[in-house]
Amino acid sequence: MDKGEKRFHREGGVLLHPTALPGPYGIGDLGSTAWGWIDWLSEAGCRIWQVLPLGPTGYGDSPYQSFSSFAGNPLLISPESLMAEGLLREDDLESIPEFSDDRIHFGTVIAYKDRLLNLAMDHFRAGITPALEKEFQVYCQQQSYWLDDFTLFMAIKGEHEGISWTDWEPSLALRKSHAISRARERLKDEIEAHRFRQFLFSRQWQTVRQLAAKSDLKIIGDLPIFVAHDSADVWAHPEFFFLDDAGMPTVVAGVPPDYFSPTGQRWGNPLYRWDVLRDDGYTWWLSRLESVLSMVDLVRLDHFRGFQAYWEIPAEDEGATTGRWRTGPGEDFLEVAQKALGDLPIIAEDLGLITPEVVALREVFNLPGMKVMQFAFDGDATHEYLPHNFERHCVAYTGTHDNDTSRGWYASAPEETQEFCRRYLGCNAEDIAWGMIKVIWSSVADMAIAPMQDLLELGSEARMNFPSRAEGNWQWRVRAAQLSPQLAGRMQEMSVLYGRLVEPTKDKTEDG
């Protein structure tokens, strides 16, 4: 077995972001419902749980537009777990808004969670849980390399009613030392509150990860290649990005036209000054990788092709078609990362316009790429995403968070595509989602992963994200009743039949 393949085995799993878990508080969290989800995955014979980026969400509630590459999303903190630790009282959890069971209404959730987290901080300051004080101080010291900048950024942002940092007074936007010192003193209580939220998130996530490990469950995380402009990352390290004197991007990220969008996509993220990062030994980027790998077992490196070459769009242009390709850091960066991390526990998100140079870069480091079934039926039997053409060292998907659900995709596909799909899968239109699951589970791919929506055979109403739409994404949630023993049994049978679960969990084969 080649060196880079040691981390990858024949396994199957489910893509479901924690926000989509069931629960009474308007959004999934890291408490008992996450623990129950891990139990359900184990019963279903799954050995993989894939999540999206776990950071605090900014513009459009997108996990890909986070206020920090290092921080966790406080909205995922479990109120029930806080109550169990004495940080909330039972009556604090009364008067819960009438949240939807299957959609997240972020405005209402944010207001509700902010109130609870402020109460938890008040109780902590009052000395209700003295055992946590030392642990909190140790956490703050260990994470100070990013936590100090992030919490100051969030405190100043709150003082300015959430506006972008480039709209703050110049002395704060450009981090003049006198202004920063005064802000740290003026906002010390707010800074401490943000630190405490990160501490709580970290504790609860590590509990979830430990439970996953006990169930032999790998967690695959997600690391976006680019960061949000309105983030502590860019504010604290402007030297690493193409910015003007006021902190605004001069060029931004995106992609030219491809099968996700016929007009391309203008993401708007600032682009890296890779020469400056290289001269610094890629220290900041290595810290990003190490941070996410302290939380997950493997990481999907989003937009991997951008490390070979990326699409540069002038900041003043509103579209994506006027950009140009620029050379990325390529082997130089990945060699440094491999030296620091050893075998790279990375899945290369190699979707979009992929050139032989991108493939060669992935193969040099023996990173598995992605195969998405929904893209397999646009051509003929030679298409690389058809399972009979897979190589073993890859990760096969029915679809991703950026795609429609498989049923939704099929319903809107051209008639000739639908016919090819039915013939290939050997099923009728009603069974498309499970037909796709079956063929990727039976394929040679090391890993097979399906979004939870496909296990439930849901249509476009359950789609997680529309890449070309700025609002109304990331809202879908699974209902508790949908995580049934019958569905778990069906999944386990699939994994047993196709060798993705060597030893089925106790009693489930009798039900399945």
Enzyme catalytic residues? 302, 349, 402
Sign of the CA dihedral running 368, 49, 460, 470 = negative
Task: Report the C-alpha gap between 308 and 232 in whole angstroms.
Answer: 26
Which of 330, 230, 322, 323 has the alpha carbon at shortest distance from 274? 330
Task: Count CA atoms closer than 13 A to 215's CA, side-chain side.
Answer: 27
- C-alpha angle 471-475-476 in degrees, rounded to nearest 5: 140
d(CA 75, CA 471): 18
Helical H runs in 320-405?
A: 330-341, 356-364
For β-strands 324-327 and 394-397, DSSP reports them as unpaired
Half-sphere exposure of 507 (CA within 13 A, CB side): 3
Q: Where are the alpha helices (DSSP H) in 215-261?
A: 232-236
DSSP one-letter code for 347: E
Residue showing tokens 């060669």: 360
Integer angstrom CA distances of residue 341 from 255, 286, 289, 509? 29, 9, 9, 39
Neighbours of 314 (CB within 10 A): 12
Which residue type occupies 322? T
Distances in whole angstroms, Cα of residue 45 to Cα of each of 11, 14, 137, 478: 9, 11, 40, 19
